[in-house]
Amino acid sequence: MDPVLIVVLCVAAVIALLVVPMLIVTLPIAKKVYNHTLVRTDQEKWGRCCSDTTNEEQVQMWNTGCQWAEKYKNNMKEVSVENEGLKLFGEYYDFGSDKCVIVLPGRCESLMYSYYFAEPYRKAGCNVLVIDARAHGKSDGIYTTVGTKEGSDVREWIRFLENEQNIHKIYFHSLCLGTGAALVVMSQKNAPDSVKGLITEGCYTSFREVYKQHMVDDNRPLFPVLDMVMMKLRIHGAKISTHAPIRLVKRIKQPILFLYSRKDKFSLPEKSVKLFSSCSSEDKKLIWFDEGAHSHIRINNTEK
């Protein structure tokens, strides 16, 4: 037998002996991590409730937001759209304006979390649309696709505002993962003319990067679990690479305001600077805040 072939076969055998046991051990871990963090495994998960009752700031934001919704309940009507066979739910607060903000919350959050971010827009003369993303709140769905299919859902909400509410000046306020959906819409060649701008808090360069930071923070094993989770996301329709914000912002022309905290452990400051530099919009601005955890900027810097 050819000596080279013998060497190749020996190397392949060694690799197989190392890889197969590793996969046997890590595949169940990856499945568990994926299902826990990115799959709605039951109807109660990611429902209309506070996502972290152990976090004092989160509870305060939740309570303040609910008070806002109660104050303006007479301006609200429940609304819905359908996309890809899923029924998606939202609440539309009509303050008599010709423009509207769509608040796009992050992973694990329902539309009730978005109440907290609505008041500055009401004061600025906007109507407010808060939505349950697919697989969140009352909306249908099991899998999150970190912006890919959620962007398609947002297009339906834009059509709702245009066709049913006669609104043609639309802004996004997005938090973390919500920015993924916003950028998918805004970066398309046929992006709706009605979308006039984006205010994003804690935008990440890529979902793989921000998810990696979450795994580090949770003391979870990275290799090969991280890559396995990303593979599962792709299987269910997420375009991790092509829809990474660091790529999408290169095609953005609309105005963008980036909000970041220097204490954000997930959307790291050095990555945020890189993302801002990559953005092609001629009307862009980056504002830094010294205080505030990920998605908790406003509660620590309310007036600013």
Residues 10 and 94 in one domain: no
Is 45 among the domain residues? no
Phi-psi region of 237 (alpha: psi -120 to 50; beta: other; left: phi over 0): left
Is 42 among the domain residues? no
Residues 66 and 27 in one domain: no
How far apart CA 78 and CA 47 sit, in angstroms, is 16
Is 38 among the domain residues? no
How far apart CA 292 and CA 91 sit, in angstroms, is 28
121 or 222, which is more confident: 121
Residues 77 and 128 in one domain: yes
Residues 138 and 259 in one domain: yes
Is 130 among the domain residues? yes
Cβ contact 90:132 at 8 Å: yes
Residues 11 and 119 in one domain: no
| CATH for 221 | 3.40.50.1820
Percent residues over pLDDT 90 in the chain: 85
Give yes or no for residue 15 having a pLDDT over 60: no
pLDDT per residue over 70-113, tens digit each?
Answer: 999 999 999 999 999 999 999 999 999 999 999 999 999 999 99
Is 173 among the domain residues? yes
Cβ contact 243:147 at 8 Å: yes
Structural domains counted in the chain: 2
Residues 58 and 124 in one domain: yes
Give yes or no for residue 298 having a pLDDT over 90: yes
Establish how many alpha carbons lie within 13 A of residue 297's alpha carbon, considering only the half-sphere containing its beta carbon. 25
Mean pLDDT over 146-165 rounds to 97
3-state secondary structure of 131: strand
Cβ burial, residue 229 (10 Å; 0-12/13-18/19+): buried
3-state secondary structure of 184: helix
Give yes or no for residue 3 having a pLDDT over 70: no
Give yes or no for residue 8 having a pLDDT over 60: no
Residues 68 and 208 in one domain: yes
The one-character DSSP state at 142 is S
Q: Can you say how many angstroms the Cα of residue 243 is from the centroid of all Cα atoms in its chain? A: 12
pLDDT per residue over 232-281, tens digit each?
Answer: 999 999 999 999 999 999 999 999 999 999 999 999 899 999 999 999 99
Give yes or no for residue 5 having a pLDDT over 70: no
Residues 4 and 146 in one domain: no
pLDDT per residue over 27-83, tens digit each?
Answer: 888 899 999 999 999 989 999 999 999 999 999 999 999 999 999 999 999 999 999
Residues 57 and 16 in one domain: no
Residues 253 and 190 in one domain: yes
* Domain with 18 in it: 1-33
Place of tokens 């299987």: 235
Is 143 among the domain residues? yes
Residues 229 and 147 in one domain: yes
Q: Which residues pair with 39 in a beta bridge?
A: 143
> The whole model's pTM is what?
0.92
